[in-house]
Structure 1
């Protein structure tokens, strides 16, 4: 299936795609572990747990990766502490990847008809707060998080909802073939596939190694690659 050019909707992941939030997420996890009286973990280990939402991040860190703990009160305590801590410290070290703002500006200038949005597994409120803080919100008509729907990525529901909303805004039907999902993990690629959309993988993100398990249609080595990949005709398949 070839991509319709130019696309009508581009949906971005947040962590590892637009922002590098690794240190703040890892610090929040280790603060949670210390609060629970458990040993802290190396940043490299915690980084491997990122991508499936806050609940799974915390479960993996406390040793409940399959979510089969019988002590849900303990898990809830851990998750609550993590969210409260991260809410305060989410901007301590987080930064926008170099080239992101310029790439979004270029896409907006060269393709004003393209709508853009955020779909992340991070809880929606910190996602929106972070985008607002860094001046990213102005590019996106919507920002949905992992708790915005009944299921997280790679379930396609969130992406399908954004396609529907974009169609209403554009006053025309936007199809999955006219949609690109941009992200740094196999979760983002699978979300696109499950919806019938195309994907751009980000080799500079938090978990780019996971793209080997689900190769994207295009590969961006830097955010500055996004405009050319989006405008490419025929598609540049890697």
Structure 2
């Protein structure tokens, strides 16, 4: 591995490793129906994904700034959404074509290169989904939106993974030796906020947000990942 090659790869989940759009949208609409509200088009709900379950629910309820005066109502809506999603998270969700092959290629070329997941999805369904699809075998850690006191794009989670990965290797890993891979500006800004590099995935849920965030590299398919990380 050359000096410019990464020492840590961190992946987003939704829109990067898996396409979970339909199950998330169905869960949001089930929540809205339960509350007696009109359902929303999938493309609208999909545009709300990326900042965690709470913001997804708030946006669907028409509270995008999180300034609702009825927090009990929002909490009840979030609870229903999470309970429904817990049961239906694997109805239509699938791993993007090329993801397994790309991860296997990276692992084969660099058996000791640490890889992890950092998502704003709650950590329990994130880990369960990765385990279901056999993705967990590639990652030393999987952190979710409720793993820390902050979520992406705050860099705390990424910095934590850098510190943990450093403890697994002989040398300390620095942020510039880390690549955050994701499909939205949230992931790219997370990398920017701690001095890491980034790969923006145009095949995901929010490719329209990538350009303004200015990722280090662009991937049009998971098959691009091995080349972009220096294989």
Q: What is the DSSP-based 3-state SS (H/G/I as helix, E as strand, rest coil) of the residue aligned with 1:225?
A: helix
- TM normalised by structure 1 equals 0.95
Match of 1:183 in 2: 182
Distance 2:168 2:211 in 1: 35
Match of 1:61 in 2: 60
1:21 corresponds to 2:20: yes
C-alpha distance after superposition, 1:98-149 (max 9, x if no partner): 0000000000001123110000000000000000000000000000000000
Match of 1:166 in 2: 165
Match of 1:204 in 2: 203
Match of 2:228 in 1: 229
> Structure 1 residue runs of 4+, over 6 Å off?
none
Distance 2:95 2:80 in 1: 26
Distance 1:153 1:4 in 2: 28
- Please tell me the root mean square deviation across aligned C-alpha atoms, in Å: 1.0
C-alpha distance after superposition, 1:149-181 (max 9, x if no partner): 010000000000000000001132000011000
Distance 2:3 2:148 in 1: 28
Structure 2, gaps ≥5 residues long: none
Q: What is the DSSP-based 3-state SS (H/G/I as helix, E as strand, rest coil) of the residue aligned with 2:171?
A: coil
Could you tell me whether the CA contact under 8 Å between 1:4 and 1:177 is conserved in 2? no
Distance 1:176 1:127 in 2: 24
The alignment covers a number of residue pairs equal to: 230
Q: Where do 1:31-180 residues align within 5 Å?
A: 31-180=30-179
Structure 1, gaps ≥5 residues long: 233-238
Distance 1:212 1:5 in 2: 24
